[in-house]
Amino acid sequence: MKRIHYACLAFISTIAFSGILYAVTIVRVLDVPTYPAQQIIDWTEQTLETTITAGYHDDVSEAANVRKRFKHAAWEPMAAFLQNKLAMNKDKQAIMFHPQPLGPPVILSEEECGEASCWRVRQSYLIPEIRNQVDFSALVATADPSHGSPFVIQSLSIGVNEY
């Protein structure tokens, strides 16, 4: 009889513990901050414009501040784009790009990124100094609170067309 009692107690404890874990999981999911679409759009536009404008980094701290808004996988295509375009203008000592948005950024979709919230954001610019239209598709994710920014660009695709 005692064995049945202990077995029932163990079973009930397991169910109760599972319920607590489930409740903690629900609280964890509900505790994720939500961001208005406009905040995501504004941050993405500001980040891309700052990065393009600061393409010629005279100041090392400026380069570091721009770089920390990108994960490595996203920074590689941006760095390659900037190096390529700056190399084409090597006869000029310093060139500063003045990107002109071709409209506001657009959130194309919300995506799953593990524990982070992610959004696919598209933004296009004209860069008159190099006569290019540049189309960005950025996967923007919520950043760790210690990051100092609410978001980080996880991946980036860049399309370039001359005009």
Domain ranges of the chain: 1-31, 35-162
How far is 10 from 33, CA to CA, in rounded Å?
A: 37
pLDDT band at 24 (very low <50, low <70, confident <90, very high): very low
| Sequence-ordered alpha helix ranges (H) in 31-122 | 37-53, 60-67, 72-88
> With 80 as the cut, is the pLDDT of residue 93 above it?
no
**Directed axis angle between helix 72-88 and helix 37-53, to 10°?**
40
Mean pLDDT of 120-142: 96
Of 53-57, 79-83, 88-92, 125-129, the range with the highest mean pLDDT is 125-129
Task: Identify the bridge partners of residue 122 per DSSP, sorted by sequence position.
Answer: 106, 137
Q: What is the CA radius of gyration of the chain?
A: 23
Instruction: Give the global pTM.
Output: 0.74
| Cα 1 from Cα 6, distance rounded (Å) | 9
Alpha-carbon separation of residue 44 from 66, 111, 153 (angstroms): 12, 16, 8
Q: Which tokens belong to 16?
A: 């109760």
Q: What's the mean pLDDT in 109-136?
A: 94
**Which pLDDT belongs to residue 91?**
63
Share of the chain above pLDDT 90, in %: 50
**Could you tell me the pLDDT band of residue 135, with boundaries at 50, 70 and 90?**
very high
Is the per-residue pLDDT at 39 higher than 90? yes
Q: What is the pLDDT of residue 60?
A: 56
35-162 — its CATH code?
3.10.450
DSSP conformation letters of 34-46? ---HHHHHHHHHH
pLDDT band at 137 (very low <50, low <70, confident <90, very high): very high
* In the predicted structure, residue 28 carries a pLDDT above the cut 50: no
What is the arithmetic mean of pLDDT over 5-13? 51
More confident of the two residues 144 and 12: 144
Tokens representing residue 5 in the block: 């009692």
